[in-house]
Amino acid sequence: MRVPTSSQSETLTETDASLTLFQRQRPRRLRRSEGLRRMVCETSLSVDNLVYPLFVKEGEGQPEAIPSMPGCFRYPLDRLLEEIEQASELGIGAIALFPVIPNEYKDRRGSESYNPNGLIPRTLRAIKQEFPQMMAIADVALDPYNSQGHDGIVENGKILNDQTVAVLVKQALTQAEAGADFVAPSDMMDGRVGAIRQALDAAGRADVGILAYTAKYASAYYGPFRDALDSAPQFGDKKTYQMDPGNGREALKEVDLDIEEGADIVMVKPALAYLDVIDRIKEHTHLPVAAYNVSGEYAMVKAAAQCGWIDEEKVMLETLTCIKRAGADLILTYFAKEVAALLAR
Ligand SMILES: NCc1[nH]cc(CCC(=O)O)c1CC(=O)O
Ligand SMILES: [Mg+2]
């Protein structure tokens, strides 16, 4: 075999130069310039799509770093308000709140979850007072409040469905009274969306929406979040209530039920390994679809970027754009502020 010398390999031969394919369609014509690519781009990320999840803790002082989620913090209330102000200035219109509950407030029924003077109700009142236009989404689930770290009441190693729903209803009502614009049940108990909708309506809170964690999978990608809240299950796993990662059709059944029960927005969680589920749900319903770009997805990007192995900014934008392309109207992401800053540039 003849090995070309470098000068030979860099010059086109006469045959190369004269070769013309008569192709009607040349997809590359639309990729010729930045302007052209922008003109035909099918998906563009907007700050309007972003929901910023935030962790709030009791007390005062400095925000506390979360080692497995670089750039994320547990904020005392006054510092949380500063963070929300910054987010608001960047154009972010919605936040999702998660509480860090001290162990002494946790019990088997998660009763702190419906204390009207608890951390989340106090936080909601402060947010609505200072930033009435900021959409506040309150998480409905028992795991931050439950001494066993499960999303429901545990009896003999089992997670009780209906008894848990009764507590979730109280929690959602407490959050609505405190000013939540949306309640977001993330517990995966059956029937909770309907029970919450009915209770909100009966309490004169028909305006409060339900963002349902409809297809929430039993995922190992939640690890860093459980570090943040110190809420890892004390025994077993969450497979008797969260979905099996291998199931796609079952997500559509969950969607049908949640729509029937009164959900306003349906969510898929996690996002990245579940883009097909987002796509199928988008085809299946006319409701807005949300996706949660969860803690483990965030941590992987941060870790690889810290090692210098990927370009963080580009990977972040690509990831979120693709979640939107798959069909997500809203994206909950810990990158919200960073993306909003980039989009504003
Ligand atoms: N109700 C619990 C809840 N709400 C949001 C997340 C995870 C969010 C994330 O990983 O970013 C979890 C964790 C879990 O189900 O164990
Ligand atoms: Mg369900």
Q: Could you read off the pLDDT of 172-184 as tens digits, one per residue?
A: 999 999 999 999 9
Determine how many CB atoms are found less than 10 A away from the CB of residue 33: 9
Q: Which amino acid is at 39?
A: M
> CA-CA distance, 340 to 47, in Å (whole number)?
6
Ligand 2 centroid–CA 194 distance in Å is 10
The answer to whether residue 13 sits within a structural domain is: no
The answer to whether residue 8 sits within a structural domain is: no
The answer to whether residue 34 sits within a structural domain is: no
Q: Is the predicted pLDDT of residue 6 greater than 60, yes or no? A: no
Ligand 2 centroid–CA 175 distance in Å is 21
Binding residue positions:
254
The count of domains in the chain is 1
Q: Which residues hold their Cβ within 5 A of ligand 2, which is an ion?
A: 254
Percent of the chain with pLDDT over 90: 92
What is the arithmetic mean of pLDDT over 154-164?
A: 96
Query: What local confidence, expressed as pLDDT, does residue 217 receive?
Result: 98
The answer to whether residue 27 sits within a structural domain is: no
Query: What is the CATH number for 90?
Result: 3.20.20.70
**Contact present, 326 and 278 (Cβ < 8 Å):** yes
Ligand closest to 99 (CA) is: 1
Residue 32 pLDDT grade (very low, low, confident, very high; cuts 50, 70, 90):
very high
The answer to whether residue 3 sits within a structural domain is: no
The single residue of 57, 106, 238, 269 carrying the catalytic annotation is 269
**Residue 247, domain extent:** 45-344
CA angle 203, 52, 268 (to 5 degrees): 75
What is this structure's pTM? 0.94
**Contact present, 152 and 159 (Cβ < 8 Å):** yes
The answer to whether residue 20 sits within a structural domain is: no
Q: Is 143 in the pocket of ligand 1 (CB under 6 A)?
A: yes
The answer to whether residue 14 sits within a structural domain is: no
Query: What local confidence, expressed as pLDDT, does residue 288 receive?
Result: 98
- Which range is least confidently modeled, 141-145, 187-191, 231-235? 231-235
Q: Could you read off the pLDDT of 90-130 as tens digits, one per residue?
A: 999 999 999 999 999 999 999 999 999 999 999 999 999 99
The answer to whether residue 6 sits within a structural domain is: no
Residue 342 pLDDT grade (very low, low, confident, very high; cuts 50, 70, 90):
very high
Query: What local confidence, expressed as pLDDT, does residue 248 receive?
Result: 98
Q: Is 164 in the pocket of ligand 1 (CB under 6 A)?
A: no
Q: Establish whether 128 is a catalytic residue.
A: no
The single residue of 216, 282, 302, 337 carrying the catalytic annotation is 216
Query: What local confidence, expressed as pLDDT, does residue 338 receive?
Result: 97
pLDDT, greater one: 15 or 84 = 84
Q: Could you read off the pLDDT of 288-331 as tens digits, one per residue?
A: 999 999 999 999 999 999 999 999 999 999 999 999 999 999 99
Residue 1 pLDDT grade (very low, low, confident, very high; cuts 50, 70, 90):
very low
> CA-CA distance, 237 to 107, in Å (whole number)?
19
For ligand 1, pick from 145, 222, 302, 331 the residue to mutate: most ligand atoms within 8 Å of CB.
Answer: 222
For ligand 1, pick from 66, 68, 143 the residue to mutate: most ligand atoms within 8 Å of CB.
Answer: 143
Ligand closest to 189 (CA) is: 2
